[in-house]
Chain A
Amino acid sequence: MSIRVDGIRKTFGGFAALDDISLNVPQGELVGLLGPSGSGKTTLLRIIAGLEKPDRGRVLFNERDVTTLDVRRRKVGFVFQQYALFRHLTVADNVAFGLRMLPRAERPGRDAIRARVRELLELVQMDRMAGRYPAQLSGGQKQRVALARALALEPEVLLLDEPFGALDAKVRKELRRWLRHLHEQISVTSVFVTHDQEEAMEVSDQVVVMSQGHIEQIGSPLTVYEQPASRFVFDFLGHINALEGLYDGAVWQSGEARLRLNTHGACPDGALTLYLRPHEATLAKAPADHAHLPVKLAARSVFGGTVTLELEPRGWGAGVLEVELDRDTWAALAPGRDDTLYLLPRSLQTVTCDGDLGPRVAPA
């Protein structure tokens, strides 16, 4: 079932939580709503579910207007961040709940319900926990039960509100791979909410980046990362270093730092901020012709294949810079304790003085 959201507006006591939101989710896709807290992503999800009523706009399932349709009749599966399992019921009874609530004419028989519950618990690998109570389960197990419960009525739309938000990092990673895999198996149109960039990037077919009740960008994970539509998107997806300075049409300068940039006239002379992603630079012991950015090593952390360095600018800029090198590059560099190192950016995102994104540039 496809989902279409058309011109949705929702205010809470004068505060616009959502302002003219339109969005298309094609049949069978897994879409991630990504944004910081307060961006309106959960409100949008609750409006799609029918738990909140929009002030204006429509929600359509398969082009059928369901805006005024009661929650019970929308037949959506919904997974809460805090699981919302019925704590007085066993795992099996939790999963069977939706089936038991069906009107008598549609309700399957006792054995059919039992068989369906077993099948669902096998799907989420919880069949051995059927007799347990929610209090006896770990967070990851609870979330899988909640998912089985949401799938019991074979919904054509599955909505997940920060499904892994309350879990620790390792379980999170495991569960989101598993969700991706499950989605390939059952291919139900799904929308999930997250504030975790990595999660949105890894799980979604399409990412919807939201901020302050607006949609900033809709696109595949690769698109939103490589071609961010706004400064907010660039800022929000992954760590960035902001380098502030002045540009004279050929050279960018800030204190001791100099960088030769050819922007083909796209950036006017004057204040120019450069955004540098941690993995888009390397370090050398000597400055290059086009780049003179002296720094001092402040801290390093080695984890997996990358070395994350914290660098203090020497004689320019203000804050600490973060750069990631692979292990071999780091080993080859082998700097001494107080050596001055030189930052060599490979690619930079320009931000003009009016706050808009300029072109991406490479120093040369």
Chain B
Amino acid sequence: MLEVKDLHVSVEGKEILKGLNLTINPGEVHAIMGPNGAGKSTLSAVIAGNEGYEVTSGTITFEGQDVLEMEIEERAQAGLLLGFQYPVEIPGVKNVYLLKAALNAQREARGEGEIPAPEFMKLVREKLAFMKMDNSFLQRAVNEGFSGGEKKRNEILQMLVLQPKLAMLDEIDSGLDIDAMKVVAEGVNSLRSAERAILMVTHYQRLLDYIEPDYVHVLVDGRIVKSGDKDLALELESRGYEWVTEESAA
């Protein structure tokens, strides 16, 4: 589904990713872990199309399409969706309006018509209830004045409505208390299906207690230095990152 080959990425002349390889198949849940500054968030940002990063070499393909040739919105329309670590505030724009515009833009790109309003409201109310969010969320401006937990829940709500093929979650657990984390994890778990893949970027193993990954990759200094299953995450939790770094240097 997603194929990242020998990816090199720089920010303001400084190389962050130095030859990263990653393959993700439908139905799989991958977790990228690693110390601060290793380039974890860079990977999902580059796949999503953030223009602050310069891809100097390598390829990214998604379902056979060259992702690096696609506009940001085309990537989203193709099913690549990013849950932000720091969701952006848009004053004056109602949540419900953003959701509807996004869903209709994606439907249009797929050659489907606009969703009828009653059908849309039914869908959104159902997902809101699932995320334990009040209906009043819809009338509030996008992320404006939201607490950290509300912002993250809102990101998952968007995923549930937009149903991406590959859901990328950038540090979705940061700033969450345990109750909020459970709600977010339930939302993410409900996205799991044989056709959909999930890519999580996280610093802590804690999240993986709630969302069990099929694969864990350790990202150190711009490369994936070790891959394994969920047990690798537990090992990292008890031993830290240093031994992996040393092992890869050896």
Chain B binds chain A: no
Please list the residues of chain A having a beta carbon within 8 angstroms of any beta carbon in chain B: none
